[in-house]
Structure 1
């Protein structure tokens, strides 16, 4: 099994916002226009959009896309808006690993599927564990690259929670690489990004990776 490992440097907050927020001048096509576009695509592929089996396909495709790309209509900051301070003296790593996600490559609009591992070192407050999974879903349900998805998760947690450090690792298989092109089934891409203590202290990076891989640090 092949692996591609990429380590990212933190991105500035303004550029992240620019990449994830639709321009104010963008005019969203109507549902009818979207369904018509699907009909055109079916015809381009060489089939008849008016044959019985395909008559309702444009409606189904648009409905599916509304679900698959629902992250465009949710605000990630809202997911992390409620935190908890009753953590006693706890100040060590909080790690949620093996969070499944699915997204779509922005280059071919083909799925990539994998799992995320997210850790942070809290300062007085923590966020509900399910909120981290929800945050990943919001960003994943947009046209993406795995590198940018990693960066967006890190940046949002770092900005809202202001912890001593954030660590993120994503592992995914990209169908645009396994089903087309080089057609290398089983190849996985691994991306990591660190802020704060995790970025500055190699021992903390190693501990995060050890917890992800072995459950011990």
Structure 2
């Protein structure tokens, strides 16, 4: 990120809306915005598939299970239409192939892809594709439930509105697999925030890879 250009752009924006960027209370605003943008957009240019690949281990006999679900993963991103944040929870499911992935790695993949100007629909599809590629999973499903500031704070200002999107691939894009995963996500079977639900044979990969 070109920090100097961001600060200059913020200063110009303040001038454009009729503010005085040299006003005492605004003197540090360009720098603060640059700091926040460095965090919000830290995923630009980062290979999320490599993060996924690095976090996998071979699945041993009896370790694979049929379905692994990590529920209630908090995320934030920035809508590319208005450059306003959207925040919410993700539910990540995969049907293991020959490899397993550290549960914390799934969250890091999501955070990396979310740390770019995004659309919620595309974010889900990209997370699915990245996990499927990095893990060589038999199927991946991602449900995102998010609140968008471009909806809650402007226009009609629907302050209680959230948007839910579903993306899936492989076995979890098939009606039966998709229905099972979504039912388990909503059933309350999983543990609390960040919990994992192995379905089928036991898995032993709770430690982050």
TM-score, normalised relative to structure 1: 0.82
1:54 equivalent to 2:26? Answer yes
Partner residue in 2 for 1:84: 57
From 173, 177, 182, the counterpart of 1:204:
177
Partner residue in 1 for 2:129: 155
Partner residue in 1 for 2:36: 64
Secondary structure of 1:72's aligned partner: coil
| Two-structure CA RMSD over aligned residues (Å) | 1.5
Unaligned runs of 5+ in 2: 190-198, 200-209
Secondary structure of 2:75's aligned partner: strand
From 12, 26, 44, the counterpart of 1:40:
12
Contact 2:125 2:168 in 1 (8 A): no
Residue 81 of structure 1 deviates from its aligned partner by 2.1
Measured in 1, the distance between the counterparts of 2:88 and 2:4 equals: 33
Secondary structure of 2:43's aligned partner: helix
Q: Which moved more, 1:203-212 or 1:169-178?
A: 203-212
Contact 1:154 1:194 in 2 (8 A): yes
1:171 equivalent to 2:145? Answer yes
Measured in 2, the distance between the counterparts of 1:203 and 1:51 equals: 61
Tell me the matched-pair count. 188
TM-score, normalised relative to structure 2: 0.85
1:100 equivalent to 2:83? Answer no
Unaligned runs of 5+ in 1: 1-27
The 5 A counterparts of 1:129-144 are: 129-144=103-118
Partner residue in 2 for 1:5: none
